[in-house]
């Protein structure tokens, strides 16, 4: 499904302005009206959007999403993963500048029918302001962590044919694990518990409208500056071609 939009995907419908009267879309309409914003998009380039997460587990909880529908970052091309890795580092630098530190994680699945901990069928990487590591808790739950040096190593998961978790913390260590847990929203619920806010673990029961508004206002300037830098870099590149 990578490379095009998917009419049954709430994310694709939301950001391509398609009006679908399902529960998600109706709830999103309420949030937009309550937040007094026209879009959740804080930053975008030719491949990705960056948005505040519904039900943020921390003061800053962002999602990085491919614009083309795909089920996980492991399904992106090598070139796309290189660009995604650069973007993730930039976003983490912005979050670290404002909030101090951050962690990154993904619930990854390889196709629509594969059972996993992902609760949304559109790939999304979480970036959360947090100064704690959840590695001890992952190990306690029996997950086998494999250290990786670059994001493109996610493609190794295709050979394993299994859903996965990706995790990177403020120590700059990154890991991939086979998702042997297969519980919806496992990583974000674990993160909420570590941050002593278990009530924030399930975004479906805790949309966090007030937190989203505060996050947008606090991060808007930083992301506007990042957008200008990106646009200038693209202009320079075009002039040099």
The pLDDT tens digits of the residues spanning 196-228 come to: 999 999 888 888 878 888 888 888 888 887 776
Q: What CATH number should be reported for the domain holding residue 143?
A: 3.30.428.10
Per the domain annotation, does 225 fall within a domain?
yes
Q: How many beta carbons lie within 10 A of that of residue 33, not counting itself?
A: 10
Per the domain annotation, does 187 fall within a domain?
yes
Per the domain annotation, does 5 fall within a domain?
no
The pLDDT tens digits of the residues spanning 177-192 come to: 999 998 989 999 999 9
**Entry pTM:** 0.87
Number of domains in the chain: 1
How far apart CA 223 and CA 214 sit, in angstroms, is 14
Res 19: pLDDT:
61
Ramachandran category for residue 182: left, alpha or beta (phi over 0 → left; psi -120 to 50 → alpha): left
The pLDDT tens digits of the residues spanning 5-63 come to: 555 777 887 777 666 556 566 666 776 776 676 778 888 889 999 998 988 999 999 99
The pLDDT tens digits of the residues spanning 123-172 come to: 999 999 999 999 999 999 999 999 999 999 999 999 999 999 999 987 77
Vertex 227: Cα angle to 225 and 230 (nearest 5):
110
Per the domain annotation, does 209 fall within a domain?
yes
Helices (H), the chain: 10-15, 23-35, 78-99, 135-140, 156-160, 186-194, 209-240
Buried b (16+ CB within 10 A) or exposed e, 221-233: ebbeebeeebeee
Per the domain annotation, does 1 fall within a domain?
no
119 vs 104 pLDDT, higher one? 104
The boundaries of the domain holding residue 96 are 10-240
């Amino acid at each position: 499904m990578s490379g095009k939009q998917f009419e049954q995907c709430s994310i694709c419908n939301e950001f391509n302005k398609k009006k679908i009267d399902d529960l998600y879309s109706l709830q999103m309409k309420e949030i937009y009206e309550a937040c007094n914003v026209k879009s959740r998009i804080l930053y975008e380039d030719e491949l990705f959007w960056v948005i505040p997460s519904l039900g943020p587990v921390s003061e800053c909880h962002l999602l990085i999403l491919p614009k083309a529908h795909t089920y996980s970052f492991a399904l992106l091309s090598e070139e796309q993963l290189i660009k995604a890795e650069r973007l993730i580092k930039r976003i983490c630098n912005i979050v670290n500048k404002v909030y101090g530190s951050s962690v990154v994680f993904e619930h990854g699945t390889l196709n629509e029918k594969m059972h996993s901990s992902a609760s949304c069928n559109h790939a999304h990487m979480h970036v959360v302001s947090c100064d704690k590591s959840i590695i001890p808790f992952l190990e306690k739950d029996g997950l086998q962590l494999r250290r990786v040096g670059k994001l493109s190593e996610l493609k190794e998961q295709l050979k394993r044919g299994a859903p996965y978790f990706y995790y990177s913390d403020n120590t700059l260590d990154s890991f991939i694990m086979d998702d042997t847990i297969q519980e919806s929203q496992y990583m974000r619920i674990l993160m909420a518990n570590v941050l002593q806010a278990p009530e924030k673990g399930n975004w479906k029961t805790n949309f966090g409208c007030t937190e989203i508004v505060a996050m947008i206002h606090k991060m808007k300037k930083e992301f506007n500056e990042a957008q200008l830098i990106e646009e200038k870099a693209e202009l320079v590149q075009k002039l040099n071609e």
